[in-house]
Amino acid sequence: MKKIILILFLFLGTSLYSVYAQAALIALLFGDKVATENFHLSVDIGMNISSLPNLEQGGSTTGLYFGLGTFIKINDKWALTPEFKPLSPRGASNVSPINNYSSLLSDPSYDISLRFIDVPILIQRKINDKLFVSAGPQISFLTRASQISTGRLQNGNNAELSVDVKSTFESIYLSLPLEIGYSFTDLMKGKAADLKIRYNLGLNEMIADSSYGSSNGSTFQIFLSFPFIK
């Protein structure tokens, strides 16, 4: 966990200026109309903390979260914020195995690694100049699912085995993101950033193979959103 957080902050530090460069490139491609107070794009970078509740065993996993956001102002209080998040990892650690390799590995442990593309469409309500809340539907598309098995071989060497288990999980996942956010101004040379904390409430079953178990999933997200406004 500490290593993931350290990697996240290093990633944020090295990416901060490149984020604005990428957003500027998008604005150049599509014009100044995508860089105003009423309509603009953002680059979002942060971390997912997820688990698969209701499984017989299982802890949480963490992973880097990345994508693009859009802000469409409706009035002084309300806005529509569709997003596209091509990197949204989920999963669980120390779970019961889908494929058991106890005959190959001694003292094996099993993790589930899931990769999704998230498409949330949120309605944002401004509380004051700094604070806002958001909620709305999200559809997620499963792109990869792996069981990571770790343990020792008979010769004493450590081993890690990754096996595709995509057929065990549903390909489409629906959830309801609930978000609270805080806007920072003058974070870097007058540029603003939003800190967002989001919980995704699972609305449907994530596991297609009922013989393995049942879970709607649970995901917390904390990330920074860097809007590009000229």
Residues 59-104 have pLDDT tens digits of 999 999 999 999 999 999 999 999 999 999 999 999 999 999 988 8
Residue 69's nearest CA partner among 88, 39, 44 is: 44
pLDDT, average across residues 132-150: 97
Rg for the chain, CA atoms, rounded = 20
CATH-assigned architecture of domain 2-228: Beta Barrel (2.40)
Amino acid 55: pLDDT: 82
pLDDT, average across residues 181-190: 71
Question: How many CB atoms neighbour CB 119 within 10 A?
Answer: 17
Amino acid 117: pLDDT: 97
Residue 13 pLDDT more than 70?
no
Cα separation, 50 vs 177, in Å, equals: 13
Q: What is the pTM of this model?
A: 0.84
Residue 189 pLDDT more than 60?
no
Q: How many CA atoms lie within 13 A of 39 on its CB side?
A: 6
| Rounded percentage of the chain residues whose pLDDT exceeds 90 | 67
Six token digits for residue 105: 């590995």
Which is higher by pLDDT, 91 or 190?
Answer: 91
Write the CA distances from 32 to 10, 38, 42, 49, integer angstroms.
31, 11, 14, 36
**Rounded to 5 degrees, what are φ and ψ at 30?**
-105, -5
Give domain limits for the chain: 2-228
Question: How many CB atoms neighbour CB 47 within 10 A?
Answer: 20
Which is higher by pLDDT, 119 or 157?
Answer: 119
